[in-house]
Amino acid sequence: MGSFKSSVFILILHFLKGALSNSLIELNNNGYEGIIIAIDPSVPEDETLIQQIKDMVTQASPYLFEATGKRFYFKNVAILIPEKWNTKPDYVRPKLETFKNADVVVAEPNLPGNDDPYTEHMGKCGEKGERIYFTPDFLAGKKLAQYGPQGRVFVHEWSHLRWGVFDEYNNDQKFYLSNGKSKAVKCSADIVGKNVVNKCQGGSCVTKPCRPNKLTGLYEKECEFLPESEQTEKASIMFAQSINSVVEFCTEQNHNKEAPNLQNQRCNLRSTWEVIQDSEDFKKTTPMTTQPPEPTFSLLQIGQRIVCLVLDKSGSMLTGDRLNRLNQAGKLFLLQTVEQGSWVGMVTFDSAAHVQSELIQINDGTDRDKLIKSLPTVAAGGTSICSGLRSAFTVIRKKYSTDGSEIVLLTDGEDTTISGCFNEVKQSGAIIHTVALGPSAAKELEELSKMTGGLQTYASDQVQNNGLIDAFGALTSGNGAPSQRSIQLESKGSTFKNSQWMNGTVIVDSTVGNDTLFLVTWTTRSPQILLWDPSGKKQDGFLVDTKTKMSYLQIPGTAKVGVWKYSLQASSQTLTLTVTSRASSATLPPITVTSKINKDTGKFPSPMIVYANIRQGASPILRASVTALIESEDGNTVTLELLDNGAGADATKHDGIYSRYFTAYDTNGRYSVKVWALGGIDAARRSVIAQQSGALYIPAWIENGEIKWNPPRPEINKNDPQDKQVCFSRTTSGGSFVASDIPKAPIPDLFPPCQITDLKAKIQGGNLINLTWTAPGDDYDHGTAYKYIIRISTSILDLRDKFDDSLQVNTDDLIPQEANSEEVFVFEPENITFENGTDLFIAVQAVDKVDLKSEISNIAQVSLFIPPQLSTETPPPGDTSVPCPNININSTIPGIHILKIMWKWLGELQVSVGL
């Protein structure tokens, strides 16, 4: 028995790692296993695509192996094939692999011809990314000239995904001043090439050398650095892996620390290899002494969805009307959330398990009603979670393998024997989604979700927060087309006193409208429900279920686009409203909101980060109003406005990913996360993604002195605005997390201001320096900091490594503003030599009222450039200026003699002009 407990404990530790992502990747003896490459359901069937994926990974593995000093290679990869593709004998059913937890997605480009490979990366330096995106044309080798071999690009993107490094180029600022000279942003600096401008007009193009602006010293905006096709420099993969000689990452020795790129900005000037060396992967491996084997591949084809509900009906479910709330949430799941064609079964448990329904395929409303009637109505007895799970396995195996099946497990009770079935769960190949109801649900419950890649949620007894319905509403398929999934448009509730009204609106946008459901729940008696469509027509026909205390209306056909108005009236009870819908068309991607937190467990005083990713297909939605509601086990709620401003917790500005730090802990235990997103007049869809991490596009190569231009990137239609206005409303569950080590009230202030990551500097009128940044808060990105410390240096490394010893700028007049405001500060450097060609480096540190200090900001750079004063006057007769010495450059005078003559002449010149 002891050895079994020990093995279970090791299993739990194994699956607790990497909680930021749902990835199944494991590092085993230097080889990466469990990589999932998913082909998007919208990609037309093409068997050659599978071989192209295999070729890419096979090419990438030895390149990765050598680039990492023989440490890492790709061991095995699962290729996830869409359900609609023809079946083949070698395609098998997935286990835990789903489209939602894919590491690489192959999808059509959001803009025809825009085949940029990129990685979605929400986190900070050293934190894992979300997933890599490739297009079919890229994999087919149609973009070789622009990005290089696919295998090399895969290693570039893998470095973003696995080790959290950033790009060493900068598309927004391709050149910078150093010692008064314009230099290309590259790493290493030894990559050779030419700086040119290509100007095209009327079908003909002229290529010219770049010329510096006479006032700023910087090259013109159209200037491009074009690399030579033949190089000798080996670094760096995160600059341009497409260069043949590049086979290494930049190291501390050859890293270009001055270049204004994301790697320097996000990683404190550290090279990519330094960041990789700090990773957990690096720390637990040693270089191999033999060559690794080639990767192996498994072909998995998504099949029909198989779900079994495993529902607690123990005596504690009578507390706080939990059993009835389970029926309400279960009914929504069976009516609306679970997709047509799915197979669904049901098991209940108390001290033992009871099969309520064998697997039924949902083809119509009759099948759904049959399952709804199986929901439990009586609660009594103890809690045996493993009995319920084992019974569910049996129900599924009567018809299918448990591989890839899903179990929705809800419980409110404690169960000390739950670890007894961990091994069976792992071996089953089933995905377990857990719903913890109330404060006493088994503490080990979440381990089942973690070890199987399932969703973990928590719902409190605060009915007005609608947490249980939100949890079941989030249980859409991890596979299949987005057009099949249920989308939650609204979820809200209120507790009424006397006779009150709850009035509001729901936006049905053009991307949704099919299968739209309005659902109202109550706690004592049926309320008055009034609903009007966008034309003002009153909607009647709500079905009333007095037993379950809910009313609902299914809108026939496609709901009208526009603002729907509702009014609910009740007295002395709690009401909730939930509105769900599906995509209006299989060809128009719906606007979706996915929410998550950066980790499953949080220890005080480490903050959590809440993320919301808003997309229409691959296009980000900008300037939406996004709010998170975080609820603790005590029922206390905190509202957070999530931001896409590129500051604080938000990694990249205007990428459609909204985020914020959460520090308002009030108790140990579970916290639930819910997100509302609203798009109005200001919200817009961006056609082109604000790429934060991806392979460098090479506009041209220089071969034997001749410029060979690559096909240009696709142009956005000038008559089609890049940002298209969108109006929508969405709500979604962000899952749950568990907090620990929180002290008793009053909770001490141990939260410093967050790091400033967007510091920018520019010369303003002579020697003045203009600084701008986004204000941090007193506690990370909340509140107002107490003061700023600004320091400067002519040495970038001294400023980084000896910040406290660097020259401090007088900031007596700088009063910090509220978090997320724009700060502007202008100063003139004092007590430091600041003359033509001087590079000055600047960093900021925020301090709160209890003297907690933020991390040092990103380092900004200015280079003082004084334009040469060109004389326009004609020298007068008798000019006595010293003539240039007559030197025959073809003479055989040794070079050292020429230098002596030049120095002699310069000395004469100095005397003549009085220097």
Q: Contact 326/410 with Cβ under 8 angstroms?
A: yes
What stretches of 474-606 show up as alpha helix (H) in DSSP? none
- Predicted confidence (pLDDT) per residue in 770-786, tens digit: 999 999 999 999 999 99
pTM for the full predicted model = 0.90
- Report whether pLDDT(625) > 80: yes
Residue 716, pLDDT score: 60
Q: How far apart are CA 771 and CA 354, in angstroms?
A: 67
Residues 6+ apart with CB under 8 A from 531: 518, 538, 539, 542, 553, 564, 565, 566
* Alpha carbon distance, N-terminus to C-terminus of the chain: 91
Contact 225, 169 (CB under 8 A): no
The pLDDT of residue 7 is above 80: no
753 contacts 785 by C-beta, under 8 angstroms: yes
Q: What is the pLDDT, as a whole number, of residue 722?
A: 56
Query: pLDDT per residue over 690-721, tens digit each?
Result: 556 899 999 999 999 999 999 888 776 544 45
8-state DSSP, 287: -
Whether the per-residue pLDDT at 768 is higher than 70: the answer is yes
In tens, the pLDDT along 43-81 reads 999 999 999 999 999 999 999 999 999 999 999 999 999
Torsion of CA 80, 82, 83, 87, to 10 degrees: -80
Of the candidates 389, 406, 378, 268, the residue with the CA atom closest to the CA atom of residue 322: 378
Per DSSP, what are the bridge partners of residue 219?
212
Report yes or no: 314 and 382 within 8 Å, Cβ to Cβ. Answer: yes
Least Cα distance to 260 among 826, 759, 694 occurs for: 759
Instruction: Tell me the Cα Rg of the chain.
Output: 31
Instruction: Tell me which of 97, 120, 157, 633 is the catalytic residue.
Output: 157
Q: How far is CA 654 from CA 273, 620, 650, 691, 716, in A?
A: 28, 8, 10, 10, 18
**Closest by CA position to 479, among listed 76, 38, 21, 37:** 38
- Strand partners for 197: 208
Which DSSP helix (H) or strand (E) runs through 774? strand 768-774
pLDDT tier for residue 681 given thresholds of 50, 70 and 90: confident
DSSP classification of residue 61: H
Please report where in the chains the tokens 């993320």 appear, as a residue.
611
Cα separation, 806 vs 803, in Å, equals 5
Q: How confident is the model at residue 639 (pLDDT cuts 50, 70, 90)?
A: very high
**Is 50 exceeded by the pLDDT of residue 833?**
yes
Rounded to an integer, what distance in angstroms lies between the CA atom of residue 760 and that of residue 172? Answer: 13
Q: Are the beta carbons of 783 and 751 closer than 8 angstroms?
A: no
Other Cβ atoms less than 10 A from the Cβ of 897: the count is 12
**Has residue 890 got a pLDDT over 70?**
no
C-alpha–C-alpha distance, residues 883 and 273, integer Å: 54
Confidence tier at 879 by pLDDT (50, 70, 90): very low
DSSP letter for each residue of 621-662: EES-EEEEEEEETTS-EEEEEEB-SSSTT--STTSSEEEEEE
Residue 155: enclosing H or E segment and its boundaries?
Answer: helix 150-163
> What one-character-per-residue DSSP string does 864-911 give?
---------SPPPTT--PPPPP---TTS---HHHHHHHHHHHHHHHHH
Model confidence at 127, in pLDDT bands (50, 70, 90)?
A: very high
Measured CA to CA, the distance from residue 418 to residue 403 in angstroms comes to 21
Pairing mode of beta strands 76-81, 35-39: parallel
Give pairs for 215-219: CB < 8 Å, separation 24+: 215/867, 216/865, 217/177, 217/180, 217/181, 217/182, 217/863, 217/865, 217/867, 218/175, 218/176, 218/177, 218/182, 219/175, 219/182, 219/195
- Give per-residue pLDDT as tens, 461-496: 999 999 999 999 999 998 878 889 999 999 999 999
pLDDT at position 897 is 35
The confidence score (pLDDT) of residue 177 equals 93
Per-residue confidence (pLDDT) for residue 869, from 0 to 100: 65
Amino acid at residue number 669 = G
What is the rounded CA–CA span in Å between residue 158 and residue 152? 10
The predicted pLDDT at position 350 comes to: 97
Q: In the prediction, which pLDDT does 481 show?
A: 81
Other residues' Cβ atoms within 10 Å of the Cβ of residue 719 = 5
Helix (H), strand (E) at residue 305: none
Cα 290 from Cα 299, distance rounded (Å): 28
Scanning the structure block, which residue is given the tokens 């395609």? 91
Are 395 and 359 within 8 A, CB to CB?
yes
User: What is the pLDDT confidence band of residue 913, given thresholds at 50, 70 and 90?
Assistant: very low
Nearest to 728 by CA among 888, 862, 563, 485: 563
Q: Which pLDDT tens digit goes with each residue over 334-391?
A: 999 999 999 999 999 999 999 999 999 999 999 999 999 999 999 999 999 999 999 9
Q: What is the pLDDT of residue 899?
A: 32
C-alpha span between 265 and 911 (Å, rounded): 47
| Token representation of residue 275 | 């960041």
Could you give the CA distance from residue 713 to residue 111 in angstroms, rounded to a whole number?
11
Position 168 scores a pLDDT of 97
For residue 207, give the nearest of 585, 889, 708, 645 by alpha carbon: 708
Contact at 8 Å (CB) between 512 and 560?
no
- Give the angle 564-567-570 at the CA atoms, nearest 5°: 155
Least confident window among 107-116, 413-422, 535-544: 107-116
Give the bridge partners for 362, in sequence order.
none
CA distance 422 to 637: 33
pLDDT band at 685 (very low <50, low <70, confident <90, very high): confident
Rounded-to-integer distance, Cα 409 and Cα 154, Å: 38
Flag whether pLDDT at 815 surpasses 90: yes
Structure tokens at 699: 């506009």
pLDDT of 480 reads: 76
pLDDT at 866: 78
In the annotation, is 157 catalytic? yes
Tens digit of pLDDT for each residue in 243-300?
999 999 999 999 999 999 999 999 999 999 999 999 999 999 999 999 999 999 999 9
Least confident of 21-25, 309-313, 335-339, 854-858: 21-25
Q: Over the stretch 659-670, which tens digit does the pLDDT of each residue have?
A: 999 999 999 999
Q: CB neighbours of 748 closer than 8 A, spacing ≥ 6?
A: none
pLDDT at 22: 79
pLDDT for 597: 95
Classify each residue of 560-573 as buried b or exposed e, where b means 16 or more C-beta atoms within 10 Å of its C-beta. ebbebbbebebeeb
- 765 SS3 class: coil
Which are the contacts of 911, defined by CB distance < 8 A and separation ≥ 6? none
In the predicted structure, residue 20 carries a pLDDT above the cut 60 = no
Judge contact between 180 and 836, C-beta under 8 A: yes
What is the distance of C-alpha 686 from the center of its chain? 16
Summarize the confidence of residues 447-459 as an average pLDDT: 95
More confident of the two residues 218 and 408: 408
**pLDDT in the model for residue 874:** 46
**Which pLDDT does position 834 carry in this prediction?**
78
